[in-house]
């Protein structure tokens, strides 16, 4: 998965969320599009393996009605 993609991510095996992925050598940052409500969350490489943090798939299209 490329850094900057929007993905469905499962953290700790019980809930999935849709976030932008920023990957670095030190870990993974999950960024929501409503940063006023949901602050970006960083997971170290160790946390990614231990929790685990798993990328389920890439979001291709999102359609919303407001």
Q: Which residues are CB-contacts of 51 (< 8 A; sequence separation ≥ 6)? A: 11, 12, 13, 43
Single pTM value for the model: 0.83
CA distance 22 to 63: 23
- List, as one string, the DSSP characters of 6-58: EEEEEETTTEEEEEEEEEETTEEEEE-S-TTTS--EEEEHHHHHHTTEEEEEE
pLDDT at 15: 84
Per-residue pLDDT tens digits for 15-65: 899 999 999 999 999 999 888 898 999 999 999 999 999 999 999 988 877
Mean pLDDT along residues 4-21: 92
Q: How confident is the model at residue 13 (pLDDT cuts 50, 70, 90)?
A: confident
pLDDT at 2: 80
């Amino acid at each position: 998965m490329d850094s900057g993609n929007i993905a469905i991510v499962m953290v700790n095996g019980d809930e999935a969320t849709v976030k932008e992925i920023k990957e670095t050598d030190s870990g993974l940052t999950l960024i929501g599009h409503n940063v006023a409500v949901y602050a970006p969350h960083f997971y170290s490489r160790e946390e990614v393996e231990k929790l685990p943090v798993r990328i389920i798939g890439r979001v291709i299209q999102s359609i919303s009605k407001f």
